[in-house]
Amino acid sequence: MTTSCVVTGGARGIGRGIAELMVARGHRVVVGDLDADAAAATAAEIGAAAGVAMDVRDPDAHRAVAAEASGHGRLVAWFNNAGVGDDGTLASLSDDQVRRLVEVNVLGAMWGCRAALATFGPGGGDVVNVASLAGLGPVPGYSAYAATKAAVVSLSASVNAESPRGVRVHALCPDGVDTAMLAAQDPAGMGSQLTHSGGRILGVAEVAEAAVALVGSRRVVRTMPGWRAGVMRGAMLSPASAQHAAVLFAAQGRRAMKKR
């Protein structure tokens, strides 16, 4: 049976890596991206079934992409990868930045889950939501971004629990990844400094591999690297200690950034 999958934000970075791996697995992949030309180019370069314009803030766009994927085979996987990463304190972000973070990162994942669940059919399938380690604890300098990713983790666990048998929903929570999004952030900001405090910045390929590995598994939340999850959850239990530790981690991050 011919099978299909959807990758949002698939024209570059982690999304492109996921799309390439799913093509290699034999799926007919639909690459969705806000940049229509980049989506079409990526699809042609990696052998995907289609590259289409997709604004994840629009629920109709998700339904249209689901229909496109269904035309290429039974939909079996949906990757909600599209996201934005405006860094800065909540007070420093503009109204438009906050709104975009919520609409792209949270509503985009919600609309994607709904479209996937409505399309999978009796055979079921997997939804993989690309969240972030920032969603598991306090991250000063990333407050709005972290809040959206915390929502994605919660969404994944809840939708997985309420979905019918055969449907699995996962959240992948990587630490900092070597993407254009991270490169565009303010190196003087605490968010960036904390991201670089964890040691090695993850590569796009390894994060894409982890996302694809969740397909078919029963694992709901996966963190990368695993040890950082314990640090983040501990910070949630002791906010006062976490505030002090954040200053120390930020200093460590600044040193790491100078060495890079």
Catalytic residue positions, numbered: 145
> Which 3 state secondary structure label does DSSP give 104?
helix
d(CA 141, CA 122): 44
Provide the 10 A C-beta neighbour count for residue 60. Answer: 10
> Which 3 state secondary structure label does DSSP give 114?
helix
Q: Are 84 and 181 in contact (CB under 8 A)?
A: yes
d(CA 178, CA 181): 8
Task: Respond yes or no on whether the N-terminal peptide bond of residue 174 is cis (omega within 30° of 0).
Answer: no
What angle do the packed helices 59-70 and 108-120 form, to 10 degrees? Answer: 30
Provide the 10 A C-beta neighbour count for residue 138. Answer: 18
